[in-house]
Amino acid sequence: MNVADFIATFRREMADASTPYMWSDEDIAAYLDEAVKEACERARLIEDSTTPAVTTLAVLAGQYSYTLHPSVIDLKRVTYKGKALTLSSVEAEDQNEMTWENRTGAEPLRYIYNGMGTLRLVPIPTQPLTVQLTVYRQPLKTLTADIDTAIPEIPAVFHPRLKAWIYRCAYLKQDADTFDKSKSEEFEAQFERAFGTRLDANMARKRRDRALPVVRSNW
C-alpha cells in the first residue's frame, strides 16, 4: 500500500469521503508516518546492515565514543574485519579490570551500547579503522501527502495493521466531530496486539543487561 492507498482506505472506512473533510490528507499521511515509526519502535521491523550512512562507522585513532545515525533504534551486531565484537557493559568491564577505560589496542574487541544512540569501543583503537553495524532502525524518509506514491519501508504484510494506529490518532484530533477517546483506546489496543508494547528506557536497559555475556579480558 502506498500513501494514496492508505488515504483512500481511511476515507472509505471512516466515512470521510465528502468535502469538507474532517481529516485532511496531510493529517492522514502524518498519522501513517507515525504508525510506521511506532511499529518499528515496538517490533524492530527494519533490520539494516547495508546502508553505509547508517551501518558503516569510521573509527579514529584515540577516539572510543561514537554517536550512531539518528534513525537507529537498537544495535544488534558490531563487526570488525568480519569478526563480531562482544557486547559488554561498564559494570562488566569494571569487574574485569578497573583501569579498562584507559586501555588501548590495535583493534576493538568489545563494545558498549547505552541504548541512547552512543557506542563505545573497548579497548580504545590506536589506528583508524572501519567497523560495520547491524541495526534496527526507523524509516529514513518521512511519509507525506504530497508524495502519495511513497510506500512504507516496512514489509508489506504489516501494512494493513498500521491502520489501527492511524485511526487511533484520528480519534484524538481535538474537534467535536472527531475526538473519541474510547475509540482511540480501542484502536491502540488493537495496534498493540499486532506489534507489541512499547518498551520504556528502563525496560530496554534491563533487556540488554540480561543479554550480556560474561566478559573476560584478552589483553
Domain identity same for 133 and 51: yes
**pLDDT string in tens for the chain (219-residue length):** 999 999 999 999 999 999 999 999 999 999 999 999 999 999 999 999 999 999 999 999 999 999 999 999 999 999 999 999 999 999 999 999 999 999 999 999 999 999 999 999 999 999 999 999 999 999 999 999 999 999 999 999 999 999 999 999 999 999 999 999 999 999 999 999 999 999 776 666 665 565 555 455 555
Per-residue pLDDT, 201? 63
Whether residues 104 and 79 share a domain: the answer is yes
Residue 149 region by backbone torsions, left for phi larger than 0, else alpha for psi between -120 and 50, else beta: alpha
Q: Are residues 52 and 131 in the same domain?
A: yes
- For residue 207, what pLDDT is reported? 59
Residue 211 lies in a domain: no
Listing DSSP states for the chain in one string gives --HHHHHHHHHHHTT--SSSPSS-HHHHHHHHHHHHHHHHHHH---EES--HHHHEEEEPTT--EEEPPTTEEEEEEEEETTEEPEEE-HHHHHHH-TTGGG-EESS--EEEE-SSSEEEEESEESS-EEEEEEEEE--SS---TTSTT---SS-GGGGGGGHHHHHHHHTTSSSTTT--HHHHHHHHHHHHHHH-PPPPHHHHHHHHHHHPPPP----
Confidence at residue 199, expressed as pLDDT on a 0 to 100 scale: 79
Say if 210 falls within a structural domain: no
Same domain, yes or no: 129 and 144:
no
pLDDT for 216 equals 54
Give the model's pLDDT for residue 30.
99
- pLDDT for the residue numbered 27: 99
pTM across the whole model: 0.89
Query: Are residues 61 and 119 located together in one domain of the fold?
Result: yes
Amino acid 109: pLDDT: 98
Question: 1: Cβ–Cβ under 8 A, 6 or more apart, which residues?
Answer: 9, 151, 152, 156, 159, 160
Whether 124 and 84 map to the same domain: the answer is yes
Range of the domain at 41: 3-45+139-201
Report how many domains make up the chain: 2
pLDDT of amino acid 21 = 98
Handedness of CA 176, 179, 183, 185 (dihedral sign): negative
Q: What's the confidence (pLDDT) of residue 138?
A: 98
